[in-house]
A and B are shown apart, each in its own frame.
Chain A
Amino acid sequence: MDTTFAQRRRRDLIVAFCLAVVAALVPLFVKDVYVQNIMVLTLMYAALSQSWNILSGYCGQISLGHALYFGLGAYATALLFTKFGVLPWFGMLAGGVISAVIAMVLGYPFFRLRGHYFVIATIVIAEIGLLLIQNWDWAGAALGITIPMRGDSWLKFQFARSKLPYFYFALALACVAWFVTWWLEDSKWGYWWRAVKDNPDAAESLGVVVFNSKMGAAAVSAFLVAVGGGFYAQFVSYIDPESVMGFQFSLLMALPAVVGGIGTLWGPMLGAVILIPLTELTRSFIGGSGRGVDLIVYGSLIVAISLARPQGLVGLFASRKEAAR
């Protein structure tokens, strides 16, 4: 068992490396900016969902409030740059650290909550964050923040037309999120989480250490999501509270993992690759009707997948080996 586990992990790493290399080469052949834009979003949501998956999938603490960290990252990056001239690279880092600290402060009372009490607490805290920013005049309130565009620059991480720098950043973020997950799977924390998931009573005996590991998961998850938020602010170069901290972001982060497979290493990636192009294409090509057809297609798909494949689509790829085992 242990050897197969080790083998699987080595194989995962090789596959991931190959996929990353292939992904990095794709823009050399795909020049269309609209398609490139979809690829950037796909990678970004893959990274976000992978980060979300650490807390909600592996730890089993379902958060529907990660928009809070996404928004904090976006606002930290945009505010530090426009108000103090801090380069976005440091802004993203600062946003990540702030978010990680807030996640731990919140984790202390939140992790005592079970099931839906926890879920609703996460929704509510993100809503509070949204309302506060929306009423915070210094941070632009509802007007949002425009990041001034002064020509292409790596230092300021802004590019007028080219999507490639954003693409490679998003790819790097997705790789980091994947690697952190991969690494956590085989860590002490990973073992505890699995033990707790399999047997809730074990949680009692492990008590404090599990609690601490959850705090760690919340911090890592929040940090990565906030970096994603900072990236988004640079990518769109305009943010307003509703468009970076709205409830929809919490869902958009969760959905790829749900579709692909929660608590799995590959689920969020697979889910993002399916879901994001689908949502973009349905909106672009059937959303213009004003009849809500895109919503019907999208919603039906979520219902169908969650009912037909509760373990996520990732199982489809592994099923042959499972059967063999």
Chain B
Amino acid sequence: MTITRRNVLLGASAAAALAPIVARAQTAEVVIGVLYPFSGASAQMGVDAQKAYEAALDVINTKYDFDLPLAKDAGLPGLGGAKIRLVYADHQGDPQKGRAEAERLITQEKVCAIVGTYQSAVAVTVSQTCERYQIPFVSADNSSPSLHTRGLKFFFRAAPHDEMFSKGMFDFYDVMKKKGTKIETLALFHEDTIFGTDSANAQTKLANERGYKIVADIKYRANSPSLSAEVQQLKAANADVLMPSSYTTDGILLIKTMGELGYKPNAIVAQAAGFSEKALYDAVGDKLEGVITRGSFSLDLAAKRPMVGKINAMFKEKSGKDLNDNTSREFMALIVMADAINRAKSTDGEKIRDALAATDIPGEQTIMPWKRVKFDEMGQNNDADPVLLQYVGGKFVTISPAQAAVAEAIWPMK
């Protein structure tokens, strides 16, 4: 009791001069919660994410010569060089467990912020819980557009959502059409989950607005034992572009089944997910020459920004994989969160939230092709421009938008 009172008195009288010392003494480390599926059907996503966060943690906690927020210092200078510590928790893809784990992280592990969650359904309950405890939540890799429109004060997302991603695709179609490519009909192929539904809704809306005809809209059950009936219908529709929104498992089966049923579309433009995973290309890469996928990330940036290549190498050393759509967003989520905590000079949820809301990181200081990181009043970063990547000769090249492109699109695909 006396100690507390003395601290308060000390803090009040010593004022600004002593503040950094007090801060250093009080917060030797800043704890951030990381919520992912580490068991169950999506466990691999959690395992990969963990590697991405470790890479980001390394960049923040040790000195690197990168033009990223916090890279040049060891720890958070705003908190007297405090180091960040991550606490991982497993939500198994279950909204209830996500909520319970978020609560545990906040009340027991005393985390001052949470990042996550891969599955959008879990992000719903985790962000609600964070709101109730006034702890900021940065959604790293949830792309559901419904997440940021719920009026939550503590929700932030630096990455694009499905409507932005889909808009990137349709912008690209418009450009291609002007160049004389025939793109009139589209076939949607999406799983029956939040991700698939949101993606298809955004694409349907855009197609109607911009005068493209959807000739097949196939909703399928995720992890089906067979997709022959679905592929059969896609083949019959024979659209100019096939637009899948699928995870790795169904993506592999889709491509294999298409090969088996002799269906070769002119172009595939995928809503990332499985189509940015190495496992899919390991399995059926030979059939994917020329496939296009949206992405938040492009290794082509390494030519312009050498740190992107170096960070990718750091990640690859840990995981054996290149940074992809998901892992790059996860990396950035922690950087953005740490930057806000650093500027807040506090681990108080409300202060971090205000700092997040004031975030303004120029695109050059990220590893992403984004214009900047700046959140609107709903916590969404609208300056996160997605890119389109085409898989050519065993790697991805950026083909759209124009300012990020390094090559012309190959259309139709081989």
Contacts and interface: CB of A to CB of B under 8 A. Distances in A.
A288 B96 contact: no
Contact of B90 (A41, A131, A287): A287
A141 interface: yes
B277 to A, nearest CB: 16
Interface in A36-88: 37, 41
Interface residues of A, number: 35
Interface stretch (A10-18, A177-185, A215-223, A289-297): A289-297
Interface in B367-383: none
Given A134-B192, A146-B124, A161-B133, A284 B107 contact: no
Contact of B107 (A32, A144, A238, A283): A32
Contact of B198 (A135, A143, A149, A242): A143
A37 B100 contact: yes
A33 interface: yes
A260 to B, nearest CB: 22
A294 B97 CA distance: 14
B108 A238 contact: no
A232 to B, nearest CB: 7
A40 to B, nearest CB: 10
Interface string A23-43: 000000000111001000100
Interface string A179-205: 000000000000000000000000000
Query: Most chain-B CB neighbours within 10 Å: which of A144, A242, A287?
Result: A287
A178 B104 CA distance: 30
Classify chain B's interface size. Answer: 35 or more
Nearest to A37: B100
A142 B196 CA distance: 9
A contact patch SS:
helix
Contact of A160 (B50, B124, B132, B193): B132
Contact of B121 (A32, A144, A237, A287): A144
B101 A284 contact: yes
Contacts of A41: 100
A240 B121 contact: yes
A290 B95 contact: no
B96 A284 contact: no
B103 interface: yes
Query: Most chain-B CB neighbours within 10 Å: which of A239, A243, A280, A295?
Result: A243
B249 to A, nearest CB: 15
B95 to A, nearest CB: 5
A32 B108 CA distance: 8
A149 B128 contact: yes
A283 B193 contact: no
Contacts of B46: 290
Nearest to A283: B90
A290 B192 contact: no
A307 interface: no
B125 A288 contact: no
A208 interface: no
A33 B103 contact: yes
A287 B107 CA distance: 19
A292 B101 contact: no
Contacts of B150: 146
A142 B193 contact: yes
Contact of B39 (A141, A144, A287): A287
Interface string B312-347: 000000000000000000000000000000000000
A13 to B, nearest CB: 33
A236 interface: yes
B90 A288 contact: yes
A212 to B, nearest CB: 37
B198 A289 contact: no
Contacts of B125: 236-238
B208 to A, nearest CB: 17
A245 to B, nearest CB: 13
B89 interface: yes
Contact of B194 (A131, A143, A235, A292): A143
Contacts of B103: 33-34, 37
B95 A131 contact: no
Contacts of B47: 290
Query: Most chain-B CB neighbours within 10 Å: which of A34, A146, A292?
Result: A34
Nearest to B89: A288
Contacts of B198: 143
Nearest to A286: B90
Contacts of B124: 144, 146, 238
Contacts of B97: 283
B38 interface: yes
11 contacts: A34-B103, A135-B192, A135-B219, A143-B146, A144-B124, A146-B124, A146-B150, A242-B121, A284-B101, A287-B38, A288-B90
Interface of B: 38-39, 43, 46-47, 50, 88-90, 92, 94-97, 99-101, 103-104, 107-108, 121, 124-125, 128, 132-133, 146, 150, 192-194, 196-198, 219, 221
- A-B pairs with lowest CB-CB distance, top 6: A287-B90, A290-B38, A34-B104, A288-B88, A290-B47, A160-B132
